Each structure stands twice: as C-alpha cells, then as structure tokens.
Amino acid sequence: MKMTSLGSLTNSAFKHTKRVAAVVTTGLALATASVSSQAAVEVVTGTLDATTVPFGLDLLAYDFSSGNYALTVLGSPVLSLFTTSYAPVSPITSGVPGVTTYSFAGLSGSYLISLFGVADSPYTLVMSGTGTITPTAVPEPESYALALAGLGAVAVLMRRRRHGDDKRD
C-alpha cells in the first residue's frame, strides 16, 4: 500500500516537472532583472487554435499593474505582446528550445498576448512579475455576430409592432 501511494506521488511529480521548470526559469529571469518584491504568478495552458492550416493562434488579454514581468512559454509557440491599440511591445528574450522567457520592464495597463505557431500545438504560459496580473475578456467573432443578430431581431419585432399598431387605427 505504501508503494502505491509513493508511486502515485512520483507520477504526479513527473507530470508537473515542466510547470516547475517554467516557474524556476521565470524566477531566474526575474532575479537577473533585479526584482526585489514578491512575484505574482499566472499559469495558462492551452492549444493553438487553427486559423489557417498549418498555422495556429491564441489571443489572450490581461491587465498588468505597474511592474516588471517575465512571460515564459513552454512549447513551440512564439509570443508577442501588444497594447490594446495593437502597438507591439519589444521584449528581451532568453531561453532554450521549448522554453522561452520574455522579459518586460515597466508594464502597466491592458495588453494583448498573441501566441503563434503550428496549429494544435500545446503550450503552457507562465506569467510572473512584481505587480498583479488580471485576465480580461477577449470578445470572439461569434460574440459580435450573435450581438448583431440580436439587434436585428429586436429591430424586426419593433417594426412589426409599429406596423401592426398603424393597421389598427
């Protein structure tokens, strides 16, 4: 019975090795950037959505309070950081194949994080920094289409109601 529980602990530790390596790598990147305060950590795992074969893209939106941040990507995707008006933000990069750290000094405000690479590629993104990291909503194209369809339906109903009232008079 002790062997089973020890075996499950060992398997669990091996499953999370990549995540631990990312946190350690991020910690080292922050230490070299001479960060002195406690770091906030946000971990995102996903798979690149197929946009056009063979390429994939994921777009994430986050608010960063003023501070220095390191974004570490485990996997093959390339990370780009943009302001909400799509102005690119230049990072300082370092890493080894499969683990790339992007360091950003003085971030503050809302940003879009683009992950680009081979379609259906899995990734883990570890964000850490001296401030707070808060996810924000990124509207999908389907949301806009649904909102427009709803407005169209309301317009049709209002028009029918108005024309129905005119016939009664």
Q: Are 88 and 36 in contact (CB under 8 A)?
A: no
Domain that holds residue 149: 140-169
Residues 103 and 153 in one domain: no
What tens digit of pLDDT does each residue of 78-90 get?
Answer: 999 999 888 999 9
Residues 87 and 119 in one domain: yes
What is the pLDDT of the chain when averaged over all its residues?
Answer: 76
Residues 130 and 61 in one domain: yes
Residues 154 and 115 in one domain: no
What tens digit of pLDDT does each residue of 27-71 get?
Answer: 444 333 333 334 689 999 999 988 776 888 899 999 999 999 999
Residues 117 and 148 in one domain: no
pTM of the model: 0.60
| pLDDT score recorded for residue 152 | 82
Residues 109 and 129 in one domain: yes
Residues 145 and 101 in one domain: no
| pLDDT score recorded for residue 123 | 95
| pLDDT score recorded for residue 39 | 60
Residues 44 and 122 in one domain: yes
Buried/exposed code over 14-47 (b: 16+ C-beta within 10 A; e: otherwise): eeeebeebbbebbbebbeebebeeebbebebeee
Number of folded domains in the chain?
Answer: 2
What tens digit of pLDDT does each residue of 141-159 get?
Answer: 666 677 778 878 888 888 8
- State the SS3 of 5-70: HHHHHHHHHHHCHHHHHHHHHHHHHHHHCCCCCCCEEEEEEEECEEEECCEEEEEEEEEEEEEEEE
Residues 101 and 130 in one domain: yes
Residues 28 and 105 in one domain: yes
Higher pLDDT, 99 or 5: 99
Can you give the CATH number for the domain in which 121 is found? Answer: 2.60.120.380
Residue 17: pLDDT band (50, 70, 90) is very low
Residues 81 and 156 in one domain: no
State mean pLDDT over 89-110: 91
Residues 120 and 154 in one domain: no
